[in-house]
Amino acid sequence: MLAFALLVIGLSTAIILLPPSVSPAPEVTAVFQPEEAAFGEERSLNILLLGVDYNYDSKAQRHTSGARSDTILILRVERKGKQLSMLSIPRDLFVGIGKNAVHGYDRINAAYSFGGEKLAMETLERVTGIKIDHYIVVKSDVVADMVDAIGGVPVEVEKQMDWDDNWAGLHIHLKPGKQVLNGEQAVGYCRFRHDEEGDFGRIQRQQKFLTALMKELKQKKNFKNYQELAGLVRAKMKTDLENRQLVGLAMLYKSFPLDNIRKGRPEVLDYFENGAAYLVLAPGEPDQTVKSLFSPLPDVLDVKMSVVLHAGDEYLSEARRVGALLKKRGFVSVRIKQNNDLGDGETTMTLHGRGDEESEMVRSLFPTLKLQKTNSSGNRELNLFVRSQVTVAGD
């Protein structure tokens, strides 16, 4: 989750903070044509996000050789900026490293240590079956620098946390309760896993911290720090995404609600070999989780026709469900109107304004509903009177 937080911040700051020397015409064009700039002819992109830690000697001196990836995420973004899926891979997953396991078997986070982002991509593609288009590698200490730059992040620490490890550069000593964490404390909170919850509790804390961090970054008082934040991210982020793609993605996802991220991780089982503890994929994984998170994208329409969903108390939740689906398909204006006088019966729909193309589109979206088309002039508007469950094509 830390890697994703840095991606969001990096993309957001890219819009306004790329200096002129790095912002030629293609990057400027990306602001106005973000889909083409980010995706070209592709409908979606899969991006590998790696949060890379450092190694330390017995005297707590930091060095970068042999560093492993502490956070491993695969993110799918799509060209309308309406959907975002994120697969989290436990770093202790015991797998074959590289194509045909040419580097033997080890924890999956060792792939980066053995062969950088190229070997990490090869390994993740083989394990998950997902074609990875691009990568982003972020050094772990940038999180601490970022938190200090905004004066800390408010977090409620749920338990006493104590752990010292010179080899990992970790010195975690946190008491339970609401508090403002500085950079070092925030990293410790997100990396702590020496309790009964292990790596899974660590992932939950990362998610919790990400929400708190993004909320804090949106505070007006922190706007003045964006220049410094952008410099931190640029200095410690490596990617094969071009500047125009970064700016395009930033424009498409700048207002994307964090609660709408589809996220998950494959089910795993404990595994022990030669006295060492690992994780292995449970039967049916990761196919089951990948299928759920990375299902085929529905056709996304580029329409400006507004939609009004009328519903009484009984079917208000159904109207909200249909409205959410329509927004994912590219409808910009979707409103819910509560009306307890609709009566019983089947769901009906009325299309105001002329246009055979719009009529066919509506019929294809709602194949079980009868369309009543009116001849009124003005803006095109579709009204759905929800009195029953509604079938949306492709759902």
Per-residue model confidence as pLDDT tens for the chain (395 residues) = 454 455 555 554 444 444 444 444 556 677 778 888 899 988 899 999 998 876 555 555 554 555 677 789 999 999 888 788 889 999 999 999 998 899 999 999 999 999 999 999 999 999 999 999 999 888 877 788 889 988 999 999 999 999 887 766 678 999 999 999 999 999 899 888 888 787 778 878 887 887 788 788 777 677 667 667 777 777 778 889 888 888 888 888 877 776 778 888 999 999 999 899 999 999 999 999 998 888 777 665 555 678 999 999 999 999 999 998 887 777 778 999 999 998 888 899 988 865 666 677 777 788 888 888 776 666 678 899 999 999 887 66
- Report the C-alpha gap between 201 and 214 in whole angstroms: 20
Going by the DSSP 8-state scheme, the letter that residue 93 receives in this structure is B
Is residue 92 within 8 Å of residue 278, measured between CB atoms?
yes
Q: Is 258 helix (H, G, I), strand (E, B) or coil?
A: helix
- Report the C-alpha gap between 294 and 298 in whole angstroms: 11
**Cα–Cα nearest to 12, from 21, 24, 4, 1:** 4
User: What's the pLDDT score for residue 215?
Assistant: 80
User: What's the pLDDT score for residue 22?
Assistant: 43
| CATH number belonging to domain 306-386 | 3.30.70
Q: Tokens at residue 207, please? A: 């998610």
Strand partners, 162: 173
User: What's the pLDDT score for residue 187?
Assistant: 87
User: What's the pLDDT score for residue 103?
Assistant: 94
User: What's the pLDDT score for residue 14?
Assistant: 45
Task: Judge residue 68's burial from the number of C-beta atoms within 10 Å of its C-beta, 0-12 exposed, 13-18 middle, 19 or more buried.
Answer: buried
Q: Tokens at residue 77, please? A: 């973004």
**Helices and strands: H and E segment counts in the chain:** 12, 21
Task: Enter the pTM of the model.
Answer: 0.68
Domain ranges across the chain: 2-293, 306-386
Q: Is 96 helix (H, G, I), strand (E, B) or coil?
A: strand
Number of residues assigned to the chain = 395
Q: Does domain 2-293 have CATH number 3.40.50.2300?
A: no
Q: Tokens at residue 372, please? A: 């009543």
